[in-house]
Amino acid sequence: MDLLNALVTTLNFVIIPAVTYGSQLALGALGVTLIYGILRFSNFAHGDTMAFGTMATILTTWTLQAGGIGLGIFPTALLALPVGIAATVIWVLATDRLVYRFYRGQRVKPVVMVMVSLGVMFVTNGFVRLIIGPGDRRFDDGARFIFSAGEFREWSGLAEGLALRSTQALTVVLAILVMIALFWFLNRTRTGKSMRAYSDNEDLALLSGISPERVVMVTWLIAGALATVAGVLYGLDKGFRPFTYFQLLLPIFASAIVGGLGNPMGAIAGGYLIAFAEMTITYNWRRVLNHLLEQDLPPGVAIQLLSVDYKFAVSFGLLVLVLVIRPTGIFRGKSV
């Protein structure tokens, strides 16, 4: 039994990618859950808001790169990120002003709001494709690896390599920083507290003099920023393609619902849960088993629960499980 090599393989192919992907999902799900908590609808445009923010960041990155400005070992996109966030915030505030506010005033059913968000999604999607095109875009630069598989093998003398890409480390660090900042904001500042109060009980919050428009504005601001950060991190890690971002909607919603819609802590837990489930179920464990059994399995045997093509089935399966067993989610979200 070659435990060490098995462990390194698992770390390299399952745990590190899952933590990275989980951080990206968690950031996305936080945006969805905040919108849900305050504005009380599932925002179908969130995936495309992420695409919009990433597009703005990519365009800024290109401008910076053309001007010869960079961050050395860090990706230039970090420098462009604030511009991307600003652009996205302007975009979501504009959609709120032009579209959502009217329906809020009408106090329509949540499902109508979802329908409206579908329209916003359509427009955002068309806009992004119009500006940057539907194709693949890579915009990561700087150092590719913190340490590569070869370096690790040389250092440790193990048969298996372990690589840590700089975008993976960056994702996790940045995601944790953003989450800490968000929780500090929600729990410690006056605006954050008023947001939580508004989310818990709208009428009571209004009675105590909290301005609803201000709360809504701050929510969009945060959601726009979170969407951009999540989108840029995902794009740095896996490349940007508008359609992929639309498809991220499903795992993101699954994360938010599994954790409990409207509950930020739940969104984070849900994000990591979905990512880990997806990775462990779609990974081919053959290599790990080879090390554990110290003999090669016959060729053609795949120890894989589901092929990678069905990764959406994992999100969907967990979603269904939670809806059947505990519709409020693990962390008791708002309502059923």
**Binding to another protein by residue 137, rule CB under 8 A?**
no
Judged by CB under 8 A, the residue of 115, 149, 206, 265 near another protein is: 115
Task: Calculate ∠ Cα 227-181-191, nearest 5°.
Answer: 90
Among 30, 70, 19, 36, CA closest to 230: 30
Query: Nearest distance from residue 311's CB to another protein, in Å?
Result: 9
Judged by CB under 8 A, the residue of 18, 29, 87, 121 near another protein is: 121
CA–CA distance, 134 with 89 (Å, rounded to integer): 23
**Binding to another protein by residue 246, rule CB under 8 A?**
yes
Name the strand (E) or helix (H) holding 141: none
- Measured over all CA atoms, what is the biggest interatomic distance in the chain, rounded to whole angstroms? 70
| Interacting positions 49-88 with another protein (CB under 8 A) | none
Residue 203 or 309: the one with the smaller Cβ distance to another protein is 309
Residue 207 or 324: the one with the smaller Cβ distance to another protein is 324
Residues in the chain: 336
Residue 156 or 290: the one with the smaller Cβ distance to another protein is 290
Residue pair 32/42 in contact (Cβ under 8 Å)? The answer is yes
Task: Calculate ∠ Cα 50-52-54, nearest 5°.
Answer: 70
Pick the stretch among 20-28, 103-111, 144-152, 162-170 that binds another protein (CB under 8 A). Answer: 103-111
Judged by CB under 8 A, the residue of 13, 44, 220, 283 near another protein is: 44
**Binding to another protein by residue 41, rule CB under 8 A?**
yes
Among 26, 32, 20, CA closest to 265: 26
Query: Nearest distance from residue 319's CB to another protein, in Å?
Result: 6
Residue pair 304/298 in contact (Cβ under 8 Å)? The answer is no
| Interacting positions 253-282 with another protein (CB under 8 A) | 253-254, 257
**Binding to another protein by residue 330, rule CB under 8 A?**
no
Q: What stretches of 189-238 show up as alpha helix (H) in DSSP?
A: 190-200, 202-207, 212-238
Q: Which two tokens stand for residue 129?
A: 């494709």
Pick the stretch among 108-116, 193-201, 212-220, 267-275 that binds another protein (CB under 8 A). Answer: 108-116
Amino acid at 204: L
Query: Nearest distance from residue 120's CB to another protein, in Å?
Result: 7
Residue 104 or 193: the one with the smaller Cβ distance to another protein is 104
Main-chain dihedrals φ then ψ at residue 145, nearest 5 degrees: -125, 145
Binding site for another protein (CB under 8 A): 41-42, 44, 99, 102, 109-112, 114-116, 118-127, 129-134, 246-247, 249-250, 253-254, 257, 305, 307, 309-310, 312-313, 315-316, 319-320, 323-324, 327, 335-336
